[in-house]
Structure 1
Amino acid sequence: MTTTSPQGRTELLRPDGSPVRVLVVDDEVSLTELLSMALRYEGWEIRSAGDGAGAVRAARGFRPDAVVLDMMLPDMDGLSVLGRLRRELPDVPVLFLTAKDAVEDRIAGLTAGGDDYVTKPFSLEEVVARLRGLIRRAGASGRRSESVLAVGDLTLDEDSHEVTRGGESIHLTATEFELLRYLMRNPRRVLSKAQILDRVWSYDFGGQANVVELYISYLRRKIDVGREPMIHTRRGAGYLIKPAVLAA
């Protein structure tokens, strides 16, 4: 969706009319601030992170429409961060920032799933122009329209955060929502406690694994109580969600 700003430039908007969201990931604070300022001038909503772990956490809650990602970060390289982002947002466009101009470095980034790259030093106008192109192409593909997950009679809207079962609205906390979303993205697949901790609480979570059992019990009370169960335990393996088996 586009509209024209008072300054006469065409503004990109999300399908619901809200501002485009961009996540900027770079450990150079001055560069991050400069990029964020330029992108906010476009009317976009910006979040930033200075390392890979922060980028993954930010992406999980922010749900960006595009990511500007530095190839070299203090805790992991950009390709590793991209892999983690792709688990959460498989179609989000990623623009790499790289200080390396070697052909093999550029090919590595694009082959790993990056959509474009710019080499440092770069002009802000070039970054904005490349992002606008990536976001337009993503919007044209209908990426944002497929935001509703469904397993049996259970639905979850990733954009509005609405959850229903059999047409009945279910209220979830933010953590319950993330846990259910992960289960519903992997229907009929057994997910271990370690996988769930990594995805829902981030890989550097230092708590006890029994937090997974606790939140699974919370979900069951809201999703399954009084209905045929959808959330199942596989002892020694983990948890899965699948359509309820209705009695004949």
Structure 2
Amino acid sequence: MAPIARLLVVEDEVKVATFIKKGLETQSYSVDVAYDGREGKRLFSSDAYDLIVLDVNLPFLSGLELAEYIRSKNASLPILMLTALDTTTDKLLGFEAGADDYLVKPFEFLELIARVKALLRRHSGPADGRKQKLQFADLELDLDAKVARRQGDVIELTAREFTLLDYLMQNPGRVVSRIDIAQHVWDINFDTGTNVIDVYVNYLRNKVDKPYNQKLIHTVIGMGYVLKDK
């Protein structure tokens, strides 16, 4: 029998927190609740969790600040961020702070469960037989050390940029759509009204391609992006 996943919910609205906790417990998860960012930080620091459900607007310590703190201590712990703010800028701030997924209030509980299960599944461990070092042209990605190099130069990437590059390098020569990227890199349903993915591809290009003569990340108009060396 698989061990019970332990979840921490950080939500200052008591009714919402209670609703989420009871619902997650019906799925056989073990759930702790914190009603402000400071208490969330204390619980995270004192116990081991498999996933964090984190509201953005919290007393004492904001969800963005708490996400950044969690990321500084644990680079792989999945964070699902809840917020009433749904602009592209808001989402970018959440992802930059370390969120893995983003759910806008109000939300359907079944949607929350689907996101939680997807994040836990994705972070349950490395896939069997998966290479831990990827190579494409003069670009290298070390999945164990979390280091990217090109022509021997170390490229400083955020966690989200690293995951995006990982996905592209797992699919060299294949055109990947924005929907593909949304599902595999963010575990989110594609929102046609946001350009978050395009922004991150641009971030990645500035680091991986711009300093070098040969460009590897290419746009296929109307279809998506492809990693190729021609």
2:17 is matched with 32
2:95 is matched with 110
Residues 138-149 of structure 1 aligned to structure 2 (within 5 Å) = 138-141=123-126
Post-superposition offset of 1:60? 1.9
2:43, 2:126 → 1: CA distance?
Answer: 24
How far does the alpha carbon of each residue in 1:86-130 deviate from its partner, in whole angstroms, 9 at most, with x for none?
233221000000111111101111122110011010111111100
How far does the alpha carbon of each residue in 1:199-240 deviate from its partner, in whole angstroms, 9 at most, with x for none?
xxxxxxxxxxxxxxxxxxxxxxxxxxxxxxxxxxxxxxxxxx
1:65 is matched with 50
Is residue 8 of structure 2 the alignment partner of residue 23 of structure 1? yes
Residues 91-170 of structure 1 aligned to structure 2 (within 5 Å) = 91-141=76-126
Tell me the TM-score normalised to structure 1 length.
0.49
Is residue 41 of structure 2 the alignment partner of residue 49 of structure 1? no
1:196 is matched with none
**Is the contact between residue 11 and residue 35 of structure 2 (CA under 8 Å) also seen in structure 1?**
yes
Residues 170-189 of structure 1 aligned to structure 2 (within 5 Å) = none
2:36, 2:108 → 1: CA distance?
Answer: 22
2:107, 2:26 → 1: CA distance?
Answer: 18
1:141, 1:25 → 2: CA distance?
Answer: 28
Post-superposition offset of 1:19? 0.5
Letter in 2 for 1:113: G
Higher relative contact order (CA 8 A, sep 6+): 2
Letter in 2 for 1:56: K
2:96, 2:126 → 1: CA distance?
Answer: 20
The number of residue pairs the alignment matches comes to 127
Post-superposition offset of 1:62? 2.5
- Runs (4 or more) in structure 1 with deviation over 4 Å come to none
Letter in 2 for 1:125: L
Letter in 2 for 1:78: G
Post-superposition offset of 1:81? 0.5
2:123, 2:89 → 1: CA distance?
Answer: 26
Post-superposition offset of 1:140? 3.2
How far does the alpha carbon of each residue in 1:141-183 deviate from its partner, in whole angstroms, 9 at most, with x for none?
37xxxxxxxxxxxxxxxxxxxxxxxxxxxxxxxxxxxxxxxxx
2:29, 2:12 → 1: CA distance?
Answer: 21
Unaligned runs of 5+ in 2: 128-230
Q: Helix, strand or coil: the match of 1:140?
A: coil
Q: Helix, strand or coil: the match of 1:139?
A: coil
2:126, 2:66 → 1: CA distance?
Answer: 24
Post-superposition offset of 1:43? 0.5
Aligned-pair Cα RMSD in Å: 1.4
1:62, 1:77 → 2: CA distance?
Answer: 20
1:128, 1:63 → 2: CA distance?
Answer: 20
Letter in 2 for 1:55: G
Is residue 63 of structure 2 the alignment partner of residue 78 of structure 1? yes
**Is the contact between residue 65 and residue 97 of structure 2 (CA under 8 Å) also seen in structure 1?**
no
- Greater Cα radius of gyration, structure 1 or 2: 1
